[in-house]
Amino acid sequence: MSQPATPFARTFSHGVLVLGLLFQFAHQTDVSRAAADESTAPAVRILVGFDGSCPHDPAGVKQEGPDRFRIFPSWRSSPGIDEEAVGRSTRLGFKVVNAGQAAASVDLWIDWQYHDAPPKDRPSFASVDEFMSYRDFVVMRLPKSERWRTVMADVTDSVAHVRLEAPPGETEIHWHPPYNYTQSERFVDSLREHPLVKVEKIGESPEKRNLWLLRITDASPRPKKNFLIRSRVHPYESASSYAMEGMVRWLLSDDAYAAAALREYEFYVIPMANPDGVHNGLGALTAPRGADVCFILYKPDAVNLPLKQAIDRARPDVAIDLHNWQNKHTDGLLGLYPVIRERFVRYMPDQLEFGKQWTIRDPKPLSPEAPEKELLRTYCERNFEAVTVTFEFPWFGRTTDDMQATGQKALWSLLRSLDPPPDKLR
């Protein structure tokens, strides 16, 4: 027969019951508080500060309401000049982060601040309408996707309005498909073990990022001509990086013309001439008030010295300078001798499938005396009697694969147009 509970046992059981109820209440309170915190936390935010973002600091983003944001592409860490000045930006890149479980309607007001540009830095366009005719779209990459697609904006004055349904996760938005410093480092690393490539570090940027030179040729001991390819002097011109990759990949392919090119030339490739500007989300310079490494300085400073030394050592017989300007509908073919240029456009006519026609500017006579600084094409012509050309390949209507193929086509066409040798064509 069971014994009746003692007063101590009854008291102990009652205490255990009370503690259990208190624990359950505390747990429910914590869960409720966490749910409340989650419900009040912003589901959508703008992420900047990553490699290649522009603006590069949260100070360049203003939240104007639930899921409404104003983006300032001209924001810089300090007052800038040229394309780093207010109202002059040529760069845009940020992420829309949706931490919720469902898609969210997001309004983005991209404020290019055309009218805020200082008088000395006023954009060289006829009007704000012309300026914004190149900024009436963005490219967007959805979470877990590798594809960039174009989204047209509604433009009012110098503000482009984009409304999107942002799925959960990170949706990345840029003016043009990006190619950042990390991508460049990964590309260079992929070539280190290739038997036809020598990877050489030629210096560092002011912020200690790598400057590389790729030397590409076959093992033939025969004398060869030197061929220079320079890319990404202007940070916003990501097309130049994709075109450069297309050129290099083609040279290392099984194509018969590529093998013939490596037998005749040693290729020197500068894959990213301005890594600081690329990483920090700038448009043209190495810093907000930095250098434009598009120019070769005869008395170079520390920023320009490694690049000039590499060019002088290469002593190119042929040189390509890769760029992409803002124009939507014209490719640039600049500085190529007319007789060679006439042959070139037969091999690479207008790329009408991308809505592009060539804008052609033939070279001008060199000045009798060298100036303090020169563009690559005039510097190489003056000092090495090189055949030189600047290509401008704008993005609108092209994918990243298209841009790599365009680079390959341009290099192939230039090599074909150089037969017979250039001195017989001038």
For 122, phi then psi, to 5°, come to: -60, 135
Residues sharing a CB contact under 8 Å with residue 103, sequence separation 6 or more, in sequence order: 165, 166, 167, 168
- For residue 357, pLDDT over 70 is answered with yes
Contact (Cβ atoms closer than 8 angstroms) between residue 313 and residue 209: no
- For residue 7, pLDDT over 90 is answered with no
For residue 278, the model assigns a pLDDT of 98
Report how far residue 253's alpha carbon sits from residue 93's, in angstroms, rounded to the nearest whole number. Answer: 33
For residue 358, the model assigns a pLDDT of 98
- For residue 33, pLDDT over 80 is answered with no
Rounded to a whole number of angstroms, the CA Rg of the chain reads 28
Report how far residue 76's alpha carbon sits from residue 330's, in angstroms, rounded to the nearest whole number. Answer: 30
Note the residue count of the chain. 426
Report how far residue 398's alpha carbon sits from residue 355's, in angstroms, rounded to the nearest whole number. Answer: 9
For residue 8, the model assigns a pLDDT of 40
For residue 122, the model assigns a pLDDT of 72
In whole angstroms, what separates CA 407 from the centre of its chain?
16
Residue in the structure block whose two tokens are 């990949």? 249
In whole angstroms, what separates CA 351 from the centre of its chain?
22
The arithmetic mean of pLDDT across residues 319-343, rounded, is 97
49-67 pLDDT, tens digit per residue, is 999 999 999 999 999 999 9
- 3-state SS, residue 41: coil
Percent of the chain with pLDDT over 90: 86
Q: Which of 22-26, 217-221, 343-347 has the lowest mean pLDDT?
A: 22-26
Alpha helices in 94-175 (DSSP H): 128-133
CA atoms lying within 13 Å on the CB side of residue 322: 31
The arithmetic mean of pLDDT across residues 169-189, rounded, is 98
Amino acid (one-letter) located at 238: S
- 3-state SS, residue 201: strand
Distances (CA, A) of 389 to 212, 228, 230, 403: 22, 11, 11, 18
67-79 pLDDT, tens digit per residue, is 999 999 999 989 9
Residue in the structure block whose two tokens are 């931490």? 99
In whole angstroms, what separates CA 44 from the centre of its chain?
25
For residue 36, the model assigns a pLDDT of 38
- Give me the domains of the chain, ranges plus CATH numbers: 44-174 (2.60.40.3120), 181-424 (3.40.630.10)
Q: How confident is the model at residue 190 (pLDDT cuts 50, 70, 90)?
A: very high
Q: How confident is the model at residue 192 (pLDDT cuts 50, 70, 90)?
A: very high
What does pLDDT average to over the chain?
Answer: 91
In whole angstroms, what separates CA 296 from the centre of its chain?
22
Report how far residue 301's alpha carbon sits from residue 321's, in angstroms, rounded to the nearest whole number. Answer: 21
For residue 125, the model assigns a pLDDT of 86
